[in-house]
């Protein structure tokens, strides 16, 4: 395909600046890109919860959409809110 397009075997070519007309210092790879669309549908992915089941051991919401769980708020997220000074937000998130 490169031979038919009269391109070098490396697949790279020199491009020029559109404003000045000067060539760029480095060669650039050119050609077609293969794309594949992922069939993720929002209706299948969306999940929300206001109340629901909790773990008996940790008293945290269960994880995952299948168990009607909540979004996990981990240790590093707590640290981030502490560093930001969002004490009231932390209190709201971490208390039942």
Per-residue pLDDT of 12-50, as tens digits, reads: 889 999 999 999 999 988 877 788 888 888 877 777 787
Q: Convert 81-91 to b/e letters by CB count within 10 Å (16 or more is b).
A: beeeeeeeebe
Mean pLDDT of the chain: 82
| pLDDT at residue number 24 | 94
Contact between 29 and 12 under an 8 Å Cβ cutoff? The reply is: yes
| pLDDT at residue number 44 | 78
| pLDDT at residue number 29 | 86
- The number of helix segments (H) and strand segments (E) in the chain equals 3, 2
Burial class of 66 by CB neighbour count within 10 A (0 to 12, 13 to 18, 19+): exposed
More confident site: 44 or 92 = 92
CATH (residue range 50-94): 3.90.1800.10
The model carries a pTM of: 0.38
Q: Where are the domains of the chain?
A: 1-35, 50-94
Question: Which residue matches tokens 């707590």?
Answer: 78
């Amino acid at each position: 395909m490169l031979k038919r397009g009269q391109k070098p075997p490396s697949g790279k070519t020199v491009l020029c600046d559109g404003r000045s007309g000067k060539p760029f210092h480095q060669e650039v790879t050119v050609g077609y890109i293969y794309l594949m669309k992922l069939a993720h549908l929002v209706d299948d992915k969306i999940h929300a919860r206001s109340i629901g089941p909790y773990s008996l051991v940790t008293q945290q919401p269960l994880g995952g959409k299948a168990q009607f769980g909540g979004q996990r708020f981990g240790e590093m997220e707590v640290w981030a809110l502490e560093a930001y000074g969002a004490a009231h937000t932390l209190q709201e998130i971490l208390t039942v």
